[in-house]
Chain A
């Protein structure tokens, strides 16, 4: 029975929403098969991966803690993706945001006050946006592809942070470990739930999602971004400036990534260390597409991807599998999502053998 893809007359709206569900189901199936091949009972292993980590209040708080940077970065990136601005550099913008926020916290080491923490966060936003301005400038001034420039700047940011904590910003009391001083309490985000690491920064994620939703679906600026993303020639006919869209979306996404970075170092980490992110900037790209580039969808997809992070940590302990299992699951979700997205524009036909020779 031959299988055939046939173009749909209209893109299917139902499939836009069904594709992530299909992708998640396929990921669970293949994940189970993989665990079985490794010699585990697939149901126990999947339960250890996906259910046990969130069966406690502490586990749920960790879920929200990890979903926050993903959601912040994801909604920012999605705005650019709608306008055909492909910022792959959120990881670097997060790191520079952490550096700027951390630098502010270290600079204000000797002062205390309620205004210190907002200064740290503002510095993070500014740092991330400034770092995203580099690919924006290269794209608008020299037509350099922002995918390449923003991606390459990620490595620059990682090495820059490494140099800082190995050198000038290394803690004098740190026994030569590559770490900065611990930030003072004034610089840290207050906790939301005692006994957990969940801080007030988690509230920024729904706020950012709402603000982005207003931009995308209510503002003329968001309309311009969508037009330029869907049909650049129509944007040019209407007189919408592509430069403005490139600058705005990169700065917006960079600012949110920088905020996420500052919140990591002023939240659960509490100091600058060589690695401040387990790849949130990359995983947020998956979150953006899994959430259909819609701000509220991205809130949900961020929770799922945060769960995969937690599950990966739990599986390392419970099943003694390496950390790479997290990336395997992330990869499977993205892979199946891209495959399932074909169904938005095509339908599968099962052909009976045709009588007419073709």
Chain B
């Protein structure tokens, strides 16, 4: 299955690729050269054009203009099947697996392999053993961790014997330890002469893994380089086009008085099959404190956020308390009246109605606190005025209060939603993924705003997958895994490695953490 390494033509050349969507020039004359046996990084912020370029290379989209050469010969990649036939394999960021089927069945479906399942299972076992990708072909996807699911995708791609493997943000769902073992696999693939096109915006991992990089910015190539010879700062400058300063967290930890938010043995049944249940989650957040919850996506964070916001109600009212008041049975509007603000994970479609104006969108959460209602009728002038204040105070780039929420970029909409909550002066703010898919400038602004809010005495709870973010803004961090929450540790007394172990479900590091690993719930 090894591929011969030759000094001859590059494996993939894309020249002058142009792709236009209505209202957006996604790729504007992009050149990309991937050599044989090279791990090539494709770097760029959200919206820089990475995904579009990769979809063209894998036959999902066709370019409006430009040429593609495969091993020196012109190639037309008209469909994903054509890409597979050439030897291009793809591992997507979002997995396309059937939860209720086994690994082997999923591979058979994904590759259209007509060989009988036992033979296929044997080949899966062989490939996974050769690359150290431990995988049991007979297990059901629903029982696998996210890291294992990604292995299924990788093995599925490797069974096609690809010469070029495209990986889209592969570590975004992995713990640091899982990411390390993935890097080992990728290095072996490169050593066999395969090429890898590695898409990411994480500068550190690109510097240790890749030997060449193409940086995209706003649909154009901002530069090419050897990432091993660059610093994270210089790569970041190429990617963003400007320097950005990480937020500075004031050192003084607040003296713990009465906690503002208490979650006391909160348990929730799963809402859907295969969704995690919350299992006796306990935590306390004090005024002036930023409390972080880390964890790999899909381990109950979304369920916890819904239980905190009041979208799902707790069985016991005392399981959630704000300033000592039991609110577990109250819905979102009653909890807001208790001084809670909430920024959901999905900004477009939960935090904002895409087709409504920013002014109308303020009515979602600020209607009562900002006096926008009068006898059941809406005072539109108040809503507009509030939206204008949010736009001005938080430097939201928008056409004005009448702009539709969907017309804003992700970062600007997030600034608007965070600003909408902060301006209501919440005593407690709960934020899900504050900077997910947000450009670096907006992320820094949001971090500053959250820190300022905490310094004014509010309690802030942040749920995030981004460990760098949590370590830079939080006072204490707890880790969510399979619906359980570890004990909280002060940020200064813990390390990324330790949190990574907890993310992987190792809950008994020093014997003091109370998360009892795999023991049944009391």
Residues of chain A touching chain B, judged by Cβ–Cβ distance below 8 Å, are 6-11, 214, 218-221, 223, 226-227, 230-231, 233-234, 236-239, 241, 356-358
Contacts and interface: CB of A to CB of B under 8 A. Distances in A.
B308 to A, nearest CB: 12
A233 B333 contact: no
Nearest to A222: B378
A220 B377 contact: yes
**9 nearest interchain CB pairs?**
A239-B332, A9-B23, A239-B333, A238-B364, A9-B22, A233-B350, A231-B353, A234-B353, A237-B350
Contacts of B334: 239
Given A220-B378, A231-B354, A237 B22 contact: no
B351 interface: yes
B378 A223 contact: yes
Given A219-B376, A220-B376, A230-B354, 12 more contacts: A8-B22, A218-B378, A219-B377, A223-B360, A223-B378, A227-B353, A227-B356, A236-B332, A237-B351, A238-B332, A239-B310, A239-B334
Contact of B377 (A6, A8, A9, A218): A218
Contact of A237 (B76, B332, B367, B373): B332
Contacts of A234: 349-353, 364
A218 B381 CA distance: 12
B365 interface: yes
B344 interface: yes
Given A227-B364, A238-B364, A357-B76, A233 B376 contact: no
A241 B352 CA distance: 17
B76 A238 contact: no
Contacts of A358: 62, 78
Interface in B70-124: 76, 78
A7 B367 contact: no
A237 B364 contact: yes
Nearest to B364: A238
Interface string B327-342: 0000111101000001
Interface string B343-379: 0101001111111100010011101000001001110
Given A230-B356, A231-B353, A237 B378 contact: no
B171 interface: no
Interface string B371-396: 00100111000000000000000000
Contact of A220 (B78, B311, B363): B363
A241 B333 CA distance: 10
B65 interface: yes
B328 to A, nearest CB: 15
B219 to A, nearest CB: 16
B200 interface: no
B309 interface: yes
B504 to A, nearest CB: 30
24 contacts: A6-B22, A218-B377, A219-B376, A219-B377, A220-B363, A223-B363, A227-B356, A230-B356, A231-B350, A231-B354, A234-B349, A237-B309, A237-B311, A237-B344, A237-B350, A237-B351, A237-B365, A238-B363, A238-B365, A239-B332, A239-B334, A239-B336, A356-B65, A357-B76
A220 B367 contact: yes
Contacts of A11: 355
B342 A237 contact: yes
Contacts of A238: 332-333, 363-365
A356 B373 CA distance: 57
A26 to B, nearest CB: 26
Residue from B331, B351, B353, B376 whose CB has the most chain A CB atoms within 10 Å = B353
Contact of A231 (B78, B333, B349, B377): B349
Nearest to A229: B353
Contacts of A356: 64-65
Contacts of A6: 22
A227 to B, nearest CB: 6
Contact of A239 (B331, B352, B354, B356): B331
A358 B332 CA distance: 51
A10 B311 CA distance: 31
A218 B372 CA distance: 12
Contacts of B364: 227, 234, 237-238
A230 B311 contact: no
Contacts of A237: 309, 311, 332, 342, 344, 350-351, 364-365
A226 B364 CA distance: 12
B376 A221 contact: yes
A355 to B, nearest CB: 10
B74 to A, nearest CB: 11
A123 B325 CA distance: 46
Nearest to B374: A220
Nearest to B372: A220
B89 to A, nearest CB: 24
B150 to A, nearest CB: 27
Contacts of A9: 22-24
B22 A230 contact: no
Contacts of B346: 233
A237 B306 CA distance: 9
A256 to B, nearest CB: 20
B313 to A, nearest CB: 11
Interface in B43-75: 62, 64-65
Interface string B452-493: 000000000000000000000000000000000000000000
A341 B363 CA distance: 29
Nearest to A224: B363
A6 to B, nearest CB: 7
Interface string B15-35: 000000011100000000000
A188 B342 CA distance: 56
Residue from A6, A218, A238, A356 whose CB has the most chain B CB atoms within 10 Å = A238
Contacts of A236: 311, 332, 350
A221 B333 CA distance: 14
A224 to B, nearest CB: 9
Contacts of B24: 9
Residue from B65, B331, B334, B364 whose CB has the most chain A CB atoms within 10 Å = B364
A260 B334 CA distance: 39
Interface string B234-246: 0000000000000
Contacts of B65: 356
Contacts of B349: 231, 233-234
B428 to A, nearest CB: 16
Contacts of A10: 23
B353 A230 contact: yes
B99 to A, nearest CB: 21
A249 to B, nearest CB: 16
Contacts of A7: 22
A241 B344 CA distance: 18
A223 B311 CA distance: 19
B135 to A, nearest CB: 35
